[in-house]
Chain A
Amino acid sequence: ETGVTQSPTHLIKTRGQQVTLRCSSQSGHNTVSWYQQALGQGPQFIFQYYREEENGRGNFPPRFSGLQFPNYSSELNVNALELDDSALYLCASSLRTGTMGYTFGSGTRLTVV
C-alpha cells in the first residue's frame, strides 16, 4: 500500500508566475484535500475533491484552483503568484465515508520571490 506522494518537494517561483503542484493519493482513497501551511501556522484548508468534483472550498481566492483525475490523483494550480503564497502545500487523501483522519504527503515547499 503506497502512501501519498507529492511533487515537486521544493519550488521557487517569481511573483506573477503560475505553478502546478501534484499529488498521488493513497491507494483506495477517493477524496483529496489541499492545505496551505504558512510558517508558524496550522494547515489551512484550501479545497477538497471527491470523485473529480470540488467538494468544498476554504477562504482562498479563485486564482487557487484544482483538479482530481479518475485515478484520484490531483493537481493544485495557483495563478498570479504573490509573495504571501510562500508556504508548505500539503495534499491529503482519505475515504469519503471514513471516520479516521487524512493521510498526508510530505508537502511541496513553495517560495515566491
Chain B
Amino acid sequence: DQQVKQNSPSLSVQEGRISILNCDYTNSMFDYFLWYKKYPAEGPTFLISISSIKDKNEDGRFTVFLNKSAKHLSLHIVPSQPGDSAVYFCAARRSMDDKIIFGKGTRLHILP
C-alpha cells in the first residue's frame, strides 16, 4: 500500500526554467510533508517541509504547495540550476508517531 506516490520516475528541465515535482498521498492523518534530495552515494538531505495547516511554504528557490482537498503537493524549484540534478523524495509524517513515509522518488535532470 503506497501511501505516498510520486508518479514521475524522472523529469528533465532546462537550466534556468522552473522544475515542478509532484506528489500524491492517501492518508489524511499526515500532518507534515517533506521533500528530501539525494545525491548518489549520500543519504537523503532534508530540503523543505510544510505543515498540513498551510498551503504554501517558500525557502529561497524552493516552494512547496499543498492541496489538502486533492491530497496533492508539489515542489517548485526556480530557477533550476545544474546542482539541482538529484533524486527528490516526497515524504509525509504523522507527528503522533514521528515516522516518515517516503515516495519512490523522482530523478531530476537539469539540462545545460
Question: Interface residues, chain A, CB within 8 Å of chain B?
Answer: 4, 31, 33, 35, 40-45, 48, 50, 55-56, 90, 92, 94, 96, 98-107
- Give the Cβ gap from B101 to chain A, nearest Cβ, in Å: 7
A98 CA to B36 CA, complexed, in Å? 17
Contacts of A90 in B (CB 8 A): 43-44
Contact B103 A103 (CB under 8 A): no
A94 CA to B95 CA, complexed, in Å? 12
Question: Interface residues, chain B, CB within 8 Å of chain A?
Answer: 4, 6, 32, 34, 36, 41-46, 49, 51, 89, 91, 93, 95, 97-105
A4 CA to B49 CA, complexed, in Å? 20
A4 CA to B42 CA, complexed, in Å? 12
Contacts of A104 in B (CB 8 A): 36, 43-45
- Give the Cβ gap from A110 to chain B, nearest Cβ, in Å: 15
Contacts of B34 in A (CB 8 A): 101
- Give the Cβ gap from B102 to chain A, nearest Cβ, in Å: 4
Contacts of B46 in A (CB 8 A): 100-103
Contact B49 A101 (CB under 8 A): yes
Contact B43 A106 (CB under 8 A): yes
Q: Which 4 A-B pairs have the closest CB atoms?
A: A104-B43, A42-B102, A101-B46, A42-B104
A102 CA to B49 CA, complexed, in Å? 11
A16 CA to B101 CA, complexed, in Å? 29
Most buried by B among A94, A98, A99: A99
**B34 to A, closest residue via Cβ:** A101
A96 CA to B99 CA, complexed, in Å? 10
**B48 to A, closest residue via Cβ:** A101
A102 CA to B100 CA, complexed, in Å? 8
